């Protein structure tokens, strides 16, 4: 019966039928016991459970998935660039998703989307190949045309953090526009008029919307925005550092960076240029990374609950798996954004 042992330490898998024959019951009975079916009387249940324990039996999730037509897995797609620029953002997002999937008995498989990945519609593939029952797609690009295809598919699929232009898909996110507006308004309330903006990536809705919020606050305050006041920082320390130099040329008295990491880059550039923060130039960031309160000076920023936002996306697809009828509006509200005043803006303690 048994093959010759494998090279290093054979391991023979214990199957359900092994448990069944040891207990002298049928395999169906074992299966029913394991799925907690109330039809099985207690003594049979106990007998089976004991054998399971003694034999260290673990049902194959693969066979189970095939029979159940569900892998009990959530696919999470993060952009490739994330692996370079702002780890904290995506790590927090993964944390938020995992905190929902693990208790629900779902596994989380993580894929990084590069260009090829997107062109091959890997997100759809994950679903069609049955690798995942649902997908949370983090940081979709505004220009991602392929996503329109997902509208027609009846798979549980949700965007998180960023939505795509003209695509009617559910998206869990924070209020980028309002958060950026809050930050800018705070600087305005401190008397600043020449406020520079270091933008995130405008390929993403959060990048565009944060710039929108900044512009809206300026407009409402009757302040003009010079073209030279808006510079790209690409979520990158180096880039935002360089961007800061050009803002200094443009004579701004305050800088709003669309992500804390970019604010760190800005602060370093200011320091190297011999400017004091906030005396010479005030700085405000966004996202409230843990480190921000430990910066020198501590960074005023907008709290934006990344983990919560991503967790909501996970909750949503989980619910959708259970009842495919659920509509978009069940996603619920956006996590609240909130101004956290520290000393980098000159308005705090």
Partner DNA sequence: CTGAAAGCGCTTACAG
Report if residue 340 touches a copy of itself, rule: CB under 8 A.
no
Report if residue 17 touches DNA, rule: CB under 7 A.
yes
Report if residue 128 touches a copy of itself, rule: CB under 8 A.
yes
Report if residue 66 touches a copy of itself, rule: CB under 8 A.
yes
Give the binding range for DNA (CB under 7 A) out of 27-35, 104-112, 231-239, 255-263: 27-35
Alpha-carbon dihedral 93, 96, 97, 101, rounded to 10 degrees: 160
85 to each of 79, 154, 201, how far by Cα in Å? 11, 33, 11
Report if residue 233 touches a copy of itself, rule: CB under 8 A.
no
Q: From 193, 209, 192, select the one nearest 201 (Cα to Cα).
A: 209
Instruction: Find out whether 321 and 134 touch, Cβ atoms under 8 Å.
Output: yes
Report if residue 282 touches a copy of itself, rule: CB under 8 A.
no
Report if residue 136 touches a copy of itself, rule: CB under 8 A.
no
Q: From 148, 138, 184, select the one nearest 169 (Cα to Cα).
A: 148
Give residues 292-321 in contact with a copy of itself (rule: CB under 8 A).
294-296
Provide the minimum distance between the beta carbon of 15 and DNA in the complex, in angstroms, as a whole number: 4
The total of other beta-carbon atoms located within 10 Å of residue 254's CB is 24
CA 15 to chain centre: 38
Give the binding range for DNA (CB under 7 A) out of 14-22, 196-204, 305-313, 328-336: 14-22
Instruction: Find out whether 206 and 173 touch, Cβ atoms under 8 Å.
Output: yes
Give the binding range for DNA (CB under 7 A) out of 17-25, 80-88, 113-121, 211-219: 17-25
Q: From 305, 324, 310, select the one nearest 100 (Cα to Cα).
A: 310
DSSP designation for 204: B
Q: Residue 258 in 3-state DSSP?
A: coil
Helix, strand, coil percent content, the chain, rounded in steps of 5 = 45, 15, 40
Report if residue 102 touches a copy of itself, rule: CB under 8 A.
yes
Binding string to DNA for residues 251 to 290, with x set by CB under 7 A, is what?
Answer: ----------------------------------------
Give the binding range for a copy of itself (CB under 8 A) out of 94-102, 171-179, 191-199, 246-254: 94-102
Query: Could you give the CA distance from residue 72 to residue 67 in angstroms, rounded to a whole number?
Result: 12
Give residues 44-83 in contact with DNA (rule: CB under 7 A).
44, 57, 59-60, 62-64, 66-69
Report if residue 280 touches a copy of itself, rule: CB under 8 A.
no
Q: From 211, 250, 200, 215, select the one nearest 229 (Cα to Cα).
A: 250
Binding site for a copy of itself (CB under 8 A): 6-11, 13, 56, 58-63, 65-66, 71, 73, 83, 87-88, 90-92, 94-95, 98-99, 102, 107-112, 125, 128-131, 152-155, 237, 241, 261, 264-265, 267-268, 271, 290-291, 294-296, 324-325
Binding site for DNA (CB under 7 A): 13, 15-17, 24-29, 31-32, 34-35, 39-41, 44, 57, 59-60, 62-64, 66-69
């Amino acid at each position: 019966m048994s093959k010759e042992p494998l090279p290093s330490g054979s391991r023979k898998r214990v199957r359900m039928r092994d448990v069944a024959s040891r207990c002298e019951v049928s395999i169906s009975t074992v299966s029913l016991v394991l799925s907690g079916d109330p039809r099985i009387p207690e003594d049979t249940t106990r007998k089976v459970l004991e054998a399971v324990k003694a034999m260290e039996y673990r049902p194959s999730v693969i066979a189970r998935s095939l029979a159940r037509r569900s892998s009990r897995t959530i696919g999470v797609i993060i952009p490739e660039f994330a692996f370079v620029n702002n780890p904290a953002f995506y790590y927090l997002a993964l944390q938020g998703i995992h905190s929902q999937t693990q208790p629900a008995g779902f596994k989380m498989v993580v894929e990084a989307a590069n260009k090829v990945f997107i062109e091959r519609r890997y997100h759809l593939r994950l679903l069609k190949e049955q690798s995942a029952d649902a997908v949370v797609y983090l940081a979709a690009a505004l220009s991602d045309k392929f996503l329109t295809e997902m509208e027609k598919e009846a798979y549980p699929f949700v965007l998180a953090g960023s939505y795509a232009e003209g695509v009617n898909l559910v998206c869990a996110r924070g209020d980028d526009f309002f958060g950026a507006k809050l930050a800018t308004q705070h600087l305005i309330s401190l008397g600043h008029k020449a406020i520079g903006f270091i933008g995130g990536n405008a390929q993403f809705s959060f990048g565009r919307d944060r710039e929108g919020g900044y512009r809206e606050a300026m407009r409402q305050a009757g302040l003009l925005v010079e073209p030279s006041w808006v510079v790209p920082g690409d979520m990158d320390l180096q880039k935002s550092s360089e961007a800061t130099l050009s803002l200094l040329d443009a004579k701004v008295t305050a800088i709003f960076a669309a992500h804390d990491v970019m604010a760190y880059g800005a602060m370093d550039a200011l320091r190297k240029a011999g400017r004091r923060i906030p005396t010479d130039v005030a700085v405000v960031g966004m996202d409230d990374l843990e480190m921000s309160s430990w910066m020198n000076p501590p960074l005023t920023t907008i709290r934006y609950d990344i983990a919560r936002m991503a967790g909501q996306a996970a909750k949503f697809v989980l619910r959708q798996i259970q009842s495919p009828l659920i509509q978009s509006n069940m996603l619920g509200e956006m996590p609240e954004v909130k101004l956290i005043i520290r000393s980098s803006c000159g308005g705090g303690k």
